[in-house]
Amino acid sequence: MDAFVKLQDIAIHMGLEPAEEVPHRPGLTAAPPAAVSPQIAPCGEPLTPHRLSTKKEALGIQEAVRPGGQPIRLLKTLLTSACERNCYYCPFRAGRNYRRHTFQPEEMAQTFMDMHRAGVVNGLFLSSGIIKGGVTTQDKLLDTAVILRQKHGFRGFLHLKIMPGAEREQVRQAMTLADRLSVNLEAPNDQRLQTLAPKKEFMRELLQPLRWVDEIRRTEPGQLGWHGRWPSTVTQFVVGGAAESDLELLTTTEFLHKQLQLRRVYFSAFSPVVDTPMENHPAENPLRQHRLYQTAFLFRDYGFDLEELAFNQKGNLPLEVDPKLAWARTNLQENPVEVNRAAPEELLRVPGIGPKSAQTIVTARRRGKLRDEKDLQQLGIATKRMKPFVLLDGQRPSYQLPLWEE
Ligand code: SF4
């Protein structure tokens, strides 16, 4: 069968697979840019034809942003859309009735390189359904990567999936070939995973490969990695599919960021797929996904710990308020931060101050005191959100309480 027909059939189910960041397109979402990660789902959900609006999208090509910020045209696809496992949420699960396709490694590498040489794509996100076990499937992914790097001399961006149950040596080899690796944990612990994917083992099959990546990164020199550095790692959780709480999700998220150095945790609000055991399970509120992203960034970029956050009795974050704003109302409203003296890590705790603006403030105040709001605005820093929580040269800036939550 023609390779492009196969890619098109696979792409119908791949649109929501997490890969790299997608550029923010105003109007597509009400969420602020910090939370505009790819709309995601486990292995994707069927997209209606009008959403695959261009020929490129129909083949699985996505405009994305590389780790580091460069734009990239990414082919997101699978070596095979057949799978012997039966995850309850997944369109590729065994026994679901639709047309499956398989690429051999040589065929996939050649198809991608044809598209690359034609200037259509410059990066590849390659995953796979599982056939003959995770180890055999991982070998095929690795074979494809070796052909791309060694036979075709491809030096562009490659994101490889690590299959459940892959062996340590396979993980290590993937680290020498890819720019990014991902293992989808899907759930925060084994108990919740059984609700979603009864044939997956959380600790042995999913978490262990991420532990190996971390161990190899710590014990072997980065020059052994592709481009002289080890690849970054990411994962994904399905949110709202297993009755899991935010506390469970964020406990594991904090561990992944702080102990295993994951670059990114993706949260995918559950969305039911027809003709799966979970087709009648309600879709999750996207606002919950948004709050989880905001909190994960607090762990990764802002120095927050899990125990500093407020959860309700069910272990969930309040949906109606940004978690950083909620923390600041409790901790800073009566004890505002003096912008001229605060340490960078204290500045980062203030709503409206991110890593870049904290650094700008630290640099600017070496030249002289920041006396009022205008001094900050002249530095390009928006002041609206920070005003209730700071002092400028000993004075609180004037502010009005918002009429509604932001
Ligand atoms: S292992 Fe599970 S999530 Fe992955 S493709 Fe197969 S059924 Fe889907």
pLDDT by residue for the chain (406 residues), tens digit each? Answer: 789 889 988 888 775 565 566 654 433 333 333 333 333 333 333 333 344 456 777 888 989 888 778 899 999 999 999 999 999 999 999 999 888 999 999 999 999 999 999 999 999 999 999 999 999 999 999 999 999 999 999 999 999 999 999 999 999 999 999 999 999 999 999 999 999 999 999 999 999 999 999 999 999 999 999 889 999 999 999 999 999 999 999 999 999 999 999 999 999 999 999 999 999 999 999 999 999 999 999 999 999 999 999 999 999 999 999 999 999 999 999 999 999 999 999 999 999 999 999 999 999 999 999 999 999 999 999 999 999 999 999 999 987 666 555 5
Q: Is the CB of 92 under 6 A from ligand 1?
A: yes
**Cα(247)–Cα(335) distance, integer angstroms:** 27
Q: Is the CB of 7 under 6 A from ligand 1?
A: no
Q: Collapsing DSSP states into helix, strand and coil, what is residue 161?
A: strand
Bridge partners, 102 (sequence order): 80
Q: Which CATH number fits domain 3-307: 3.60.70.12, 3.20.20.70, 3.30.70.3280, 3.10.180.10?
A: 3.20.20.70
Closest approach atom of ligand 1 to CA 128: 5
The DSSP-derived string for 142-157 is HHHHHIIIIIS---SE
Locate all alpha helices (DSSP H) within 237-307, ordered by sequence: 246-258, 286-301
Pick from 40, 45, 80, 83 the residue to mutate for probing ligand 1's pocket: most ligand atoms within 8 Å of its CB.
Answer: 83
Topology annotation, domain 323-391: DNA polymerase; domain 1 (1.10.150)
- List the domain boundaries for the chain: 3-307, 323-391
Query: Terminal CA-to-CA distance of the chain, rounded, Å?
Result: 51
**CA 73–ligand 1 middle distance (angstroms):** 25
Which stretch of DSSP H or E encloses residue 237?
A: strand 232-239
Pick the residue whose CA is nearest to atom 1 on ligand 1.
85
**CA 41–ligand 1 middle distance (angstroms):** 12
**CA 131–ligand 1 middle distance (angstroms):** 10
The answer to whether 360 and 378 are in contact (CB under 8 A) is: no
Q: Do domains 3-307 and 323-391 have the same CATH topology?
A: no
